[in-house]
Amino acid sequence: MGTTVSIDVREPLVEPAVVDDVVAWFHDVDARFSPFRPDSEVSRVGSGELALEDASPDVRAMFTLADELRERTGGYFDPRGHRTDRRPDPTGVVKGWAVDEAGAILRLAGARNFQVVAGGDLIAVGEPEPGRPWRIGIRHPDREDRVAGVLRVRDRAVATSGLYERGAHIRDPHTGQVPGGLRSVTVIGPTLALADAYATAAFAMGDPGIGWVDGQPGFAAVGITAADRVVWTSAAHEMLDLDAAVPET
Amino acid sequence: MPKRGAFALVMTMLAVVLLLGFRTPADIAAITGGDERPGVTGSVGTTGVTTDGATDGATDGATAPPAQKQARTVTGPVVSTRWGTVQVEITVDGGQLKDVAALQLPGGDRRSASISSRVEPTLRSQALSAQSAEIDGVSGATYTSVAYARSLQAALDSAGI
């Protein structure tokens, strides 16, 4: 998938073979789902070579989930939107789901405190050390060595969608203007499959996206606006640590 | 992006509406077409729109609202766009626009909400600053998600969704 995955397991540790299993899982997902592999099931379904009903259960489930999410987000998460041929493609939700499943593998092996990160989206389970939550920074849009805020989470998925480059904004074709909107959206929720899809959808919605996430039970959102403000829902308030801010010089 | 264009249109309309003066409860009821004024369950970022006076969105039959002493919410008109309907509710406090909530979005369900008089907006914001804090991990958009977002937006635009 071209995505870097990192696995961070704290006490109680698991056998190294378990981590190997997680790695193998991600390779398996890549082999079956990658749209960049012509022989993946997703590619073969897309080309018509493989009927969806003949694909493996996971693949069918992902196509179904992607369609459900398209409905739920009013089309702002679109399983076909990034393909020029407009064929269904569940890729946008597969990464999060794969991470959720990796978490299940670790839990079944006895892990209680761990983090699995895939391309800037992650699950943070348990505690990094006894008595404190995981501290997950939200990437600063302008400064690679800084974060815009810190989320304190236990047993949550965190996903971020965004555009950091200034001057590269999509122009509204109807006004010719660069709209206001968001530079990034970070969604916190119980599963990464949904958090990632919601972050993608919310970002595409622009400013109302933060409010839209707020309407999804169990999900919180933090946004960075084009006007350089950090915006967050009331559900995110208790998680967000903004006290450690460094004054801009 | 069509969605943001539609929203900008609604914001402009609301600013004009507010500058024209107070709205009576009867006007609000007619616009929303409902018996109950929906509460706000979500919000958008704060904007720089300044209004001249607080307007009264209350449905309790009060006539003249206390001038700019209390936060008031106003439900905007339902705006039909080619992508669906957009409706917002704004909170005005001390003559300033404090909060905007999207009650309806194209393709989205109208969220039911409890009726309560909100004192504070559900959305908070502050200026972006940079932290150098002890962290265990970072969540951020990567090239992949950026490309996906760009493509998605372009596809939505071209598909007229």
Q: Is B125 on the interface with A (CB under 8 A)?
A: yes
Model confidence over A230-244: pLDDT tens digits? 999 999 999 998 765
pLDDT higher at B63 or A145: A145
Distance CA A67, CA A87 (A): 12
Q: Do B130 and A121 touch (CB under 8 A)?
A: no
Cis peptide before A247 (omega within 30 of 0): no
- Between A21-25, A152-156, A163-167, B85-89, the lowest mean confidence (pLDDT) is in B85-89
pLDDT band at A208 (very low <50, low <70, confident <90, very high): confident
Q: How far does the CA of residue B111 sit from the closest CA of chain A (Å)?
A: 7
Q: Compute chain A's Rg from CA coordinates.
A: 19
Report pLDDT for B49. 29
Q: Is B114 on the interface with A (CB under 8 A)?
A: no
- Between A99-103, A134-138, B69-73, B96-100, the lowest mean confidence (pLDDT) is in B96-100
Can you spell out the DSSP letters for A124-143?
A: EES-SBTTB-EEEEEEPSS-
Residue among A135, A139, A231 with most chain B CBs within 10 A, to mutate: A231
Average pLDDT, whole number, for chain B?
Answer: 48
Q: Note the ipTM here.
A: 0.87
* CATH fold of the domain at A122-249: T-fold (3.10.520)
Report pLDDT for B99. 56
Residue among B86, B91, B136 with most chain A CBs within 10 A, to mutate: B136
Specify whether the CB–CB gap between A10 and A114 falls below 8 A: yes
Specify whether the CB–CB gap between A123 and A157 falls below 8 A: yes
Q: How far does the CA of residue A57 sit from the closest CA of chain B (Å)?
A: 25
In-domain check, residue B130 = no
Model confidence over B75-105: pLDDT tens digits? 666 655 444 555 556 666 665 555 555 555 4
Tally of CB atoms within 10 A around A17: 8
Assign 3-state DSSP to chain B and report helix, strand, coil percentages, each to 5.
Answer: 25, 25, 50
pLDDT surpasses 50 at B114 = no
Q: Which of B141, B151, B88, B42 is nearest to A84 (CA)?
A: B151
pLDDT surpasses 60 at A184 = yes
Distance CA A94, CA A62 (A): 7
CB pairs under 8 A between A and B: 264
> Which residue is associated with the tokens 């909107």?
A181
Range of the domain at B44: 2-124+141-159
The residue in chain B having the minimum alpha-carbon distance to the alpha carbon of residue A119 is B142
Average pLDDT, whole number, for chain A?
Answer: 87
pLDDT surpasses 80 at A27 = yes
Q: Do B5 and A175 touch (CB under 8 A)?
A: yes
pLDDT surpasses 70 at B161 = no
In-domain check, residue B110 = yes
Q: Residues B103-132: what's their mean pLDDT?
A: 53
Q: Do B141 and A231 touch (CB under 8 A)?
A: no
In-domain check, residue B133 = no
Model confidence over A48-88: pLDDT tens digits? 999 999 999 999 999 999 989 988 888 888 777 656 666 77
Residues contacting A177, CB < 8 A, separation 6+: A171
Domain spans of chain A, in order of start:
1-119, 122-249
Q: Domain A1-119 has what CATH class? A: alpha beta
In-domain check, residue B89 = yes
Amino acid identity, residue A167? Answer: G
pLDDT higher at B66 or A159: A159
Number of domains in chain B: 1
